[in-house]
Structure 1
Amino acid sequence: MRSLLRLWPYVRPVRVRLFTAAFVAILASCLGLVIPLVLKWMVDGPVADRDPGGVWLGALYLLLLGIAEALLFGFRRWLVARPLAGVEAAMRADLFRHLQRLPVAFHDRWASGQLLSRGTTDLMLLRMFLAFPLTFLVVNTATILVGFVLLFAQDWTLGLVLLAPAVPLIILCSLFETKYSVVARRAQDQVGDLTTVVEESVLGIRIVKGFGRHRSQARAFKAMAHRLRDTELGKARLLAGIWALITAIPELAIGAALVLGTIQVADGTLSAGTLVAFLSTALALRWPVESIGFLLAVSQESATATDRYFEVMDVAEERGAAAVREGAPATAPGMVFEGVAFRYPDADPDSPPVLSGIDLHIRPGETLALVGGTGSGKTTLTALVPRLHEVTGGRITLDGEDIATMERSRLRELVSVAFEEPTLFSATVGENVTMGAADADEAQVRRALSVAQADFVHELPQGLDTEVGEQGLSLSGGQRQRLALARAVVGEPRFLVLDDPLSALDVHTETLVEAALRQVLARTTAVVVAHRPSTVMLADRVALLSGGRIAAVGTHQELLRDNAEYAWLMSGAESGPAPGRKSPAAPTSAPAEQVPAEEGSAR
């Protein structure tokens, strides 16, 4: 429950309204405790004296108290509704901002459904907790204290009878809280897993339908849904058990007080009005006492939601700009890899690094093609340039400046990237392209579309304003890849990183794109991951990556002539290991299931 204290920074800006709402609710609840006193006055006064006018006056008092109580509770709800919606929005905005700044390695490890459930279900639960259970934990506690003061004031012996169940109730609530916290956490994690399954099935619907796997997906979903159902039933059983005990034990105490009170009235030591007032007060305390189980359950679920929220918020964001190292040797202009090494954060410490001893110099205006077998580390190496991953050894410099000392915003203005798997967003074509340069005008966008041979855009229903849908799935693979390439070149970056950007294009379109791309590459310093000779021909030089190391550097013709492994890769052979390489064991890094499937352990 202590984790709920971590919500205070978000609650503090609205604390005045929350405290006011709690005070109003306490006042309304205490008004309800005045009703038994009015009943006592009516029974011992007008009823005993057979005064109809006094009875009607008492009824008017009761009506006014009821109306005042209802108005105060309505006012309390108005006080908290808007500010708590703001608290939820602020927490959701902070979570989204934080997710954008977390390392790529974090997103590789975490299922998207777990993150979605934290940003939706958990935050909704916290808003509900702040609006109702938190307030009424305070209100009901105050009501019970005030109520027992009134009970003891009316008859202390009967008050002790009602107070007797307090100790067993405290022990039961403590045991319930311990058990319920475990089940609540399990249920919320299972909701995240279920969300992941739904999301993957929706995004992969073409695969599901293409292979006729809808029944197996439905079975997997059903199995997870049943596990969640069983967990929720376990929660319900725990809640039902504590609620039954919290209801039954005080009822027994009230029954005992009724018997003893009746005896006292018969003996003349207690007035009938006092007994009526005492029992009415005791009954007025039933809801505050019986609601303890429900309030504890919601509070425990909220504590679990808070833990889940801060599990993400506590993860360190990407490192900022490092201090410039004094005495670091100057490097040549262009893009320089100097003794670069890399190991994934979650890799086995004893496993070899994905990359080691990478030394490359790409001169200004030069294009270097990276060639290597699957799992050799090409994609990983290109991801180091925009600092999607941090080097674990050596350094990378751009025009002599270490990228580790640059602010990411500046680095990503200098470096533009296009990945092999094109990702588009639920936005217009124009908005997707200008993600590469927010200040690009329409002329620059059209020029980038022309370079990428994406003129098909002008034939879409609304042209640049056409919505492409989630992940751009309304477009073909080749169309998405051309838009991703246009996004990379629209800002005319000084440094360009292209990860096999033409893999989904047909031969004729590829030829046209290559011709236009040569003009762009002539004005920038570029690294291009290539798998086909046609893509390699875009480059001035070629670097062969093998086993996480640079095996050779030269022109395409030089490597064809002098390097058997390069010649084998360019030949398109489909079987047998490359000459000079051990059979197909790829370098080991992070576990395969934790990384994208495109390049296995080396991505």
Structure 2
Amino acid sequence: MSTNQFPADRRRSTVRSLLRLWPYARIARWRLVAATTAALLASGTVLAVPIVLRRIVDGPIAHHDLGALWWPAGVLLLLGLAEAGLFGIRRVVVARPLARVETAMRGDLYAKLQRLPVSFHDRWPSGQLLSRATSDMFTMRLFLAFPLVFLIVNSTVFLVGTGLMLALDWRLALVTLVPFVPLTWLTHHFERRYSSAARAAQDQNGDLATVIEESVLGIRILKAFGRHRTMTERFTGQARDLRATELRKAGMLSDLWAVIVGLPELALGGALALGAVYVAHDQMSAGTLVAFLSTALALRWPVESLGWLIAYANEAATATDRYFEVMDEPESEEAPAGRAAVADEGIRLTGVRFRYPDAPADEPDLLRGVDLHIRRGETMALVGATGSGKTTLTALLPRLYDATAGTLTLDGTDVRDLPRPRLRELVAVAFEEPTLFSASVRENVLMGAPGADDGQLAAALATAQADFVERLPAGADTQVGEQGLSLSGGQRQRLALARAVVGDPPFLVLDDPLSALDVHTEALVEQALRRVLAGTTALVVAHRPSTVLLADRVAVLDDGRITAVGTHQELLQGSAVYRELMTGEAAPVPEGSSVR
């Protein structure tokens, strides 16, 4: 997914986007109310200071009564202590509950990613998903903890402070408030531009995370082919793009900040000059002017923070949009209703068609009417040319993808009628590219059957001829490292095979499970695997005659259809396609062949 897959919608409402956080934020709503209340009270103490100053200037100072300064000075001290204490309370009140909000959101996102179909993960780079689970989550939590509270507090303080200035002297108040007309237009214009830049930066950050992840996982390839400079150039180019976007954001924010700070300062200077004239002509007391200027200065932070708060609100809104782009994805692609399954046993595919969701409209379906019956207890080998759809067909059985049309049944039950957890208990898979996790050998193998005991683990390892596990430093408890890169390709493949057979599944799907093994190990695995296959119904993708010979029958996939089914010998005699796949020699098909 490129960064322009989800361009910023100019009609997007920042408020509507942020309101989508409410179902999560509501668990901390009372803490947020308490934090906002504490911040409002703290800001109220700041606005009380000008009133006290007015009393000091027009009272003790005007009358040269220094003894009367003690009590107002004490009030100012108490106001300062109250302000510090209330702001401290605000931070303490929201820290823990907002951490729970972030945990809940991250947990929901992770669970959603586990439920989403494989076709979703085919489209989305992992770096984009990673950035949504980390940096975007932090942005949303920080917005709830600080900018959200102060958007409310600063707006309230500004309104109360404006009312106080009008009460002190409406003429000076009007002079001070003149800049807010152009500032209103400016902030609206800024928000639209900044929102687009914020979205671009977050998407570019996700793309950069993808490059870093690919570089780490593919470090052996990069070093082997001496292409680390190529990847470095790619990384540098994307980092420069992100830097340029961030600088563009900073430039917009600095322009806004210059105006937000500059215009009120000019207005305040004008109010000071006008107030001095009023005091000189006895039209205003010195205490009133001091109180007015103190109030105006107290409003500097609410005004000056406006640009930053709006900017961060937009950052949080785009982070929220990115989060819910994943959460709003449908969890399963609805397949058309198929025909009622015929009551039979084993695996049956009837009229199965499939095309990838992102396939061009003018491209034919990858599978175009597959009909195949694998009898219960039978092992069926599936052969076909590269790109014929063998791996895709095997992915339909555990519903990693849903068939576009047709039906797939297991012992007479449509796979779409089975809950996915139950279906994946029934169907075990081993892929050609074995994937291991940063965990122990035991944990990796027992992913195939979490409830299996040590005896079943040992039996599965024996079937896969994974005796090398005994020689590992901690045996089955040895950590294999990320992607299992501390093991050889053949060792990873054997552990993946052990994971598939450990739970004695009733249905087994093996996608060329022995491709990385040497001839001697392959023969030993095949011998042990025969005993497992005798007790299950299996579909085995095969490329070599040795793997084909594990099967009772063989099906040939060609041009999106099953074109022939029979034993190995029957197909050598009756199928030119099969003979060419197995021997590399094409020959005319004998007349009168009974192989279909």
Alignment-derived partner of residue 377 in structure 2: 365
How far apart are residue 489 of structure 1 and its match? 0.2
Contact 2:493 2:513 (8 Å CA) reproduced = yes
- For residue 147 of structure 1, what is the aligned residue in structure 2? 161
Report if aligned partners of 1:321, 1:407 keep a CA contact under 8 Å in 2.
Answer: no
Alignment of structure 1 residues 561-580 onto 2, 5 Å: 561-572=573-584
Q: Which residue of 2 aligns with 1:592?
A: none
1:7-41 residue CA offsets vs partner (Å, 9 max, x unmatched): 00001111111011111101101111111111111
Which residue of 1 is the match for residue 68 of structure 2?
A: 54
Q: CA deviation at 1:525?
A: 0.2
Cα distance change on mapping 1:407 and 1:320 into 2, 3 Å = farther
Are 2:251 and 1:227 equivalent residues in the alignment?
A: no
- Counterpart of 1:470? 482
Query: Structure 1 residues 283 and 225, CA, compared in 2 at 3 Å: closer, same or farther?
Result: same
Distance in 1, Cα, partners of 2:561 & 2:343: 21
- What does the per-residue CA deviation read over 1:532-551, in whole Å, with 9 as the maximum and x for residues that have no partner? 01000100000011111111
SS at match of 1:486: helix
Which of 522, 525, 550 aligns to 1:510? It is 522
CA contact (8 A) 1:417 1:498 kept: yes
Given candidates 136, 139, 144, the residue that maps to 1:130 is 144
Report the secondary structure of 2:348's partner residue. Answer: strand
Name the residue aligned to 1:496: 508
Confirm or deny that 1:262 pairs with 2:264.
Answer: no
Asked if 1 retains the 8 angstrom alpha-carbon contact of 2:24 and 2:101, the reply is yes
Structure 1 residue 173 corresponds to structure 2 residue 173? no
Residues 1:350 and 2:371 aligned together: no
**Alignment correspondent of 2:37:** 23
The DSSP-based 3-state class of the residue aligned with 1:480 is helix
- Map residues 312-391 of structure 1 onto 2, 5 A cutoff: 312-318=326-332, 328-391=340-403
**Deviations for 1:324-361, whole angstroms, at most 9, x for unmatched residues?**
x7x82523211111111111111123321110121111
How far the C-alpha of 1:54 sits from its partner, in A, is 2.2
Q: Is the 8 A contact 2:46 2:83 kept in 1?
A: yes
SS state at 2:456 partner: helix
CA contact (8 A) 1:28 1:69 kept: yes
Deviation digits for residues 122-180 of structure 1 (CA, Å, limit 9, x no counterpart): 01000111101010000000100110111111111111111211211100000000100
Q: Partner of 2:113 in structure 1?
A: 99
How far residue 219 of structure 1 moved from its aligned partner, in angstroms, is 1.1
Quick check: 1:449–1:455 contact (8 Å CA) kept in 2?
Answer: yes
Indicate conservation of the 8 Å contact 1:343/1:355, yes or no: yes
Amino acid at match of 1:267: H
Partners of 2:341 and 2:409 within 8 A in 1: no
1:448 aligned to 2:460?
yes
Q: CA deviation at 1:434?
A: 0.6
Contact 2:388–2:558 (CA<8 Å) still a contact in 1? Answer: yes
2:409 pairs with 1:397: yes
- Structure 2 counterparts to residues 549-568 of structure 1, below 5 A: 549-568=561-580
Which residue in the other structure is 2:436 paired with? 424
Q: RMSD across aligned C-alpha pairs, in angstroms?
A: 1.5
Give the letter aligned to residue 380 of structure 1: T
Return the alpha-carbon distance in structure 2 between the equivalents of residues 572 and 420 of structure 1.
22
TM-score for both structures, normalised by structure 1: 0.94
Aligned counterparts, 1:268-307, within 5 A? 268-307=282-321
Distance 2:370 2:230 in 1: 45
> Is there any run of 5+ residues in structure 2 with no aligned partner, and where?
1-13, 590-596
What does the per-residue CA deviation read over 1:335-394, in whole Å, with 9 as the maximum and x for residues that have no partner? 111111111111123321110121111111100000001011100110000001101111
Q: Residue type of the partner of 1:555?
A: T
Corresponding residue number in structure 2 for 1:67? 81
Q: Deviations over 1:169-198 (max 9, x none)?
A: 100000000100111111101000000000
Alignment-mate amino acid for residue 313 of structure 2: S
1:384-441 superposed Cα distances (whole Å, 9 cap, x missing partner): 0000110111101111111111100111111000000000011111010010011111
Counterpart CA distance in 2 for 1:476 and 1:360 is: 36
Report Cα offsets for 1:96-124 as digits up to 9, x if no partner: 10011111111001111110001100010
Residue 91 (structure 1) shift? 0.7
2:222 to 194, 201, 208: 208
How far apart, CA to CA, are the structure 2 residues paired with 1:321 and 1:337?
A: 15
- For 2:209 and 2:340, how far apart are their aligned partners in 1? 49
Shift of 1:57: 2.6
Gaps of 5+ in 1: 582-603
- The Cα offsets for residues 495-537 of structure 1, whole Å up to 9 and x where unpaired, read as 0000000000111100000000000000000000000010001
Note the C-alpha offset of 1:320: 8.4
Contact persistence 2:335–2:403 (CA under 8 A): no
Q: Give the superposition deviation at 1:322.
A: 9.6
Q: Which amino acid aligns with 2:389?
A: G
SS in 2 for 1:523: coil
Does residue 1:524 correspond to 2:541, yes or no? Answer: no
Matches of 1:46 and 1:133, distance apart in 2: 41
SS in 2 for 1:416: strand
Change (3 A) 1:409 1:549: same
Shift of the alpha carbon at 1:59? 2.1
**1:188-207 counterparts in 2 under 5 A?**
188-207=202-221
CA distance in structure 2 between the partners assigned to 1:113 and 1:73 by the alignment: 37
Alpha-carbon shift at residue 571 of structure 1 (Å): 1.3
Aligned partner of 1:187 among 194, 197, 201: 201
Number of residues of Structure 1 aligned to a counterpart in Structure 2 = 575
> Does 535-544 or 453-462 show the bigger shift?
453-462
TM-score (structure 2 length as normaliser): 0.95
Amino acid at match of 1:129: F
Q: Does 1:242 align with 2:256?
A: yes
Percentage of pairs with the same residue: 65
